[in-house]
Amino acid sequence: MNLITRLTTYLRFQPFEIQTQEGRAHERHRQIVLTSFSSGIAKLLAMATSFAMVPLTLNYLGVERFGLWMTVSSAVAMLGFADLGVGSGVMNAVATGHGKDDNQGIRKSIAVGILLLSTIAIFILSIFFVLYPLIPWPKFFNVGSQIAAAEVAPTVAVIVIVFAFSIPAGIALKVQMGLQLGFFSNIWLAVGSVMGLFAVLGVIFFGGGLPYLAAATVAPPVLVGIFAGFYFFYQQRPNLRPNFNNLKISDAKYLAGTSSLFLVLQISGLVAFQKDNLIVMHYLGAGAVATYAVAFKLFSLPIIIMSLFLNAMWPAYAEANSRGDRQWIFHSFRKSIRYSAILVLPMAVVLLLAGQWIIEKWAGSSVVPSWDLLIGLFFWAVLAIFGGNFAMLLNGLGVIRFQVVTSVIMAIVNIALSVWLVQVIGVSGVIWGSVISLVFFLYLPTAIYLRKYF
């Protein structure tokens, strides 16, 4: 069955019967296709709004304030581990419970997750408001102009506050992914992207400063997530509404154990992929951040496209694994490697050859990258073909400790190499540090592990 035939077979809303192993395999494929299709729409909208915002905000803010905006965003994105891995733990618990038809266990996992995530959000806000007046924000972010110095502190405050609220607000989307209903969560993400674009246009139209621009960018998806949660638990699946009655410490044992491992993975990944702007800002200044951030965003395109279907594979692997359907897992993994290579490689080659021209037309001549940066980003995008597939498979199989060890080693080497190389060869040093560490300390050991596993 070729790719087109598969799409036409599974792109339907009527589910397959799931009383047999073959029927369950068809139903997994149907949910993957629906999730991928809706994810494509959501990602296209997100990409369109994100790429439209670059020239809008760059021209509106100027190079230094734009570089500050990118750096602050990256710094806060590094706090993604602040949910302590609970979000990923909830999704994994829901997927496993779904494979066992254990609705009561799912309800308890969701309830424990909400309590833990809310506690984490309150803790983050408490710590932030204690430290906020003590940190010299303009000096910390190395900004020179008077207007950037005045805006940096309130911008950080806005992003951190909204980020804290986003931690418990997104749990419904995690639950939907765990149930292989990612097409619903993708619809909500698309709504958040569109609302964010209109909010940014409104700020620019009325001449608002960087703090207002930050709020317009990060707040709409959080508000949409809150609404999506109420709608899902009270309209779509009231049978999965969180059960807070008679919760025990033992109910949180599985979730806490899994979440702690996901926490280490999140920290390692965020350090490896979000530290670049901070390193460039520290050693080369805000102007260099603007150049790097624009090029990085361009080469994120193939990665985003690949994620359209990869994100749906994790819960499908977990559900199949809980049912012992190893043959489906093996064949689906091989197909995902092949399809992601077909999607990503041609686009990565085009971006390498035409990257400078695209960026000049898109964002302006002031942020056109060098060839060594483009080549490094090309190899980074190619590596992501394998890395994304490896991670989804291992997560679904519950092979977390192995990932923790390799990811921590990779992150440490990545930081050291990036700091050294950025001083030796300039802005491209951070991406070459990532490429080298990913090849030798993460993807090569993972490939060897999977070869032995299968």
Side chain identity at 54, as an amino acid letter?
V
Give the per-residue pLDDT at 66. Answer: 78
Q: Of 276, 291, 322, which Cα lies nearest the Cα of 418?
A: 276
pLDDT average, residue stretch 116-135? 88
Q: Which of 97-111, 231-245, 261-275 has the lowest mean pLDDT?
A: 261-275
Tokens 């073909």 locate to 385
Any residues with CB less than 8 A from the CB of 378 and at least 6 apart, and which? 299, 348, 349, 351, 352
Q: Is 273 a residue whose pLDDT tops 70?
A: no
Confirm if 337 and 355 have CB atoms less than 8 A apart.
no
Give the per-residue pLDDT at 13. Answer: 62
* Residue 298 Rama label (left phi>0; alpha psi -120 to 50; beta): alpha
For residues 272 and 161, give the distance between their C-alpha atoms in angstroms, rounded to a whole number.
Answer: 24
Give the per-residue pLDDT at 374. Answer: 93
Give the per-residue pLDDT at 281. Answer: 82
Give the HSE-up count for residue 308: Cα atoms under 13 Å, Cβ half-sphere: 24
DSSP assignment string, 183-250: HHHHHHHHHHHHHHHHHHHHHHHHT--HHHHHHHHHHHHHHHHHHHHHHIIIII-GGGS---TT--GG
Which DSSP state fits 369? P
Q: Which of 6-20, 104-118, 238-252 has the lowest mean pLDDT?
A: 6-20
pLDDT band of 153, cuts 50, 70, 90: confident
Give the per-residue pLDDT at 10. Answer: 62
Q: Is 134 a residue whose pLDDT tops 80?
A: yes
Give the HSE-up count for residue 81: Cα atoms under 13 Å, Cβ half-sphere: 17
DSSP assignment string, 10-56: H--SSPPP-SSHHHHHHHHHHHHHHHHHHHHHHHHHHHHHHHHHHHH
Confirm if 429 and 421 have CB atoms less than 8 A apart.
yes
Q: Is 420 a residue whose pLDDT tops 90?
A: yes
Confirm if 295 and 355 have CB atoms less than 8 A apart.
yes
pLDDT band of 130, cuts 50, 70, 90: very high
pLDDT average, residue stretch 180-207? 80
Tokens 């930081």 locate to 415
Q: Which of 47-56, 105-114, 348-357 has the lowest mean pLDDT?
A: 47-56
pLDDT average, residue stretch 7-29? 66
Confirm if 75 and 276 have CB atoms less than 8 A apart.
no
pLDDT average, residue stretch 164-178? 84
Give the per-residue pLDDT at 47. Answer: 66
Confirm if 158 and 10 have CB atoms less than 8 A apart.
no
Question: Exposed, middle or buried by CB within 10 Å (0-12, 13-18, 19+), for 277?
Answer: buried
Percent of the chain exceeding pLDDT 90 equals 11
Residues in the chain: 454
Q: Of 19, 11, 50, 12, which Cα lies nearest the Cα of 304?
A: 50
pLDDT band of 432, cuts 50, 70, 90: very high
Give the per-residue pLDDT at 323. Answer: 77
- Phi, psi torsion values for 12, nearest 5 degrees: -150, 155
Any residues with CB less than 8 A from the CB of 346 and at least 6 apart, and which? none
Q: Is 79 a residue whose pLDDT tops 70?
A: no
pLDDT average, residue stretch 276-293? 82
Confirm if 281 and 142 have CB atoms less than 8 A apart.
yes
Q: Which of 25-29, 95-99, 219-223 has the lowest mean pLDDT?
A: 25-29
For residues 78 and 434, give the distance between their C-alpha atoms in angstroms, rounded to a whole number.
Answer: 16
For residues 60 and 203, give the distance between their C-alpha atoms in angstroms, rounded to a whole number.
Answer: 10
pLDDT in tens, 194-234: 888 788 888 888 888 888 888 887 888 888 888 888 888 88
| C-alpha dist (Å) from residue 419 to 140, 272, 277, 278, 369 | 17, 12, 11, 10, 19
pLDDT average, residue stretch 3-15? 61
Give the per-residue pLDDT at 439. Answer: 92
3-state helix, strand and coil shares in percent for the chain, rounded to the nearest 5: 85, 0, 15
Whole-structure pTM value: 0.65
pLDDT average, residue stretch 58-81? 67
pLDDT average, residue stretch 401-416? 90
pLDDT in tens, 339-392: 888 878 888 899 999 989 998 888 778 888 889 999 999 999 888 878 888 888
Count other Cβ atoms within 10 Å, centred on residue 47: 16
More confident residue, 145 or 5: 145
For residues 215 and 202, give the distance between their C-alpha atoms in angstroms, rounded to a whole number.
Answer: 12
Q: Where are the alpha helices (DSSP H) in 62-131?
A: 63-77, 86-99, 103-131
